[in-house]
Amino acid sequence: AQKITQTQPGMFVQEKEAVTLDCTYDTSDQSYGLFWYKQPSSGEMIFLIYQGSYDEQNATEGRYSLNFQKARKSANLVISASQLGDSAMYFCAMLGGGYQKVTFGTGTKLQVIP
């Protein structure tokens, strides 16, 4: 079985500051992937970033980076230079079971303050 845990129901960050959203996972798979989605209030799910379990370097996509610590089973999302448009729900997810099974966490609501 695989599990994703996001312990921060809500976060606030000042505009232009960096913020870290926590994600821990549990799996018995040796090969798996971790990724993050953003869900604005409009409801659509937007893919942000992906990290494979064998990737040695942390993934980065523009202002998003994934702080992958395999020994701690964590895959935190770091957003640099927060913008008002970053206010949304953020979901951490895992792709395991031979890259076939997808599991989402419960999400973190991020609010960026002007």
Partner 1 sequence: EAGVVQSPRYKIIEKKQPVAFWCNPISGHNTLYWYRQNLGQGPELLIRYENEEAVDDSQLPKDRFSAERLKGVDSTLKIQPAELGDSAVYLCASSPRGKGYEQYFGPGTRLTVT
Contact footprint for partner 1 (CB under 8 A): 4, 33, 35, 37, 42-47, 50, 91, 93, 95, 99-107
Tokens describing residue 9: 């129901």
Q: What residues form DSSP beta bridges with 95?
A: 33, 102
CB of 3 to partner 1, least distance (A): 12
Q: Which of 7, 45, 29 is nearest to 97 (CA)?
A: 29
Q: What residues form DSSP beta bridges with 89?
A: 39, 109
* 9 vs 114 by CB, closer to partner 1: 9
* 17 vs 44 by CB, closer to partner 1: 44
CB of 20 to partner 1, least distance (A): 19
Tokens describing residue 79: 């957003």
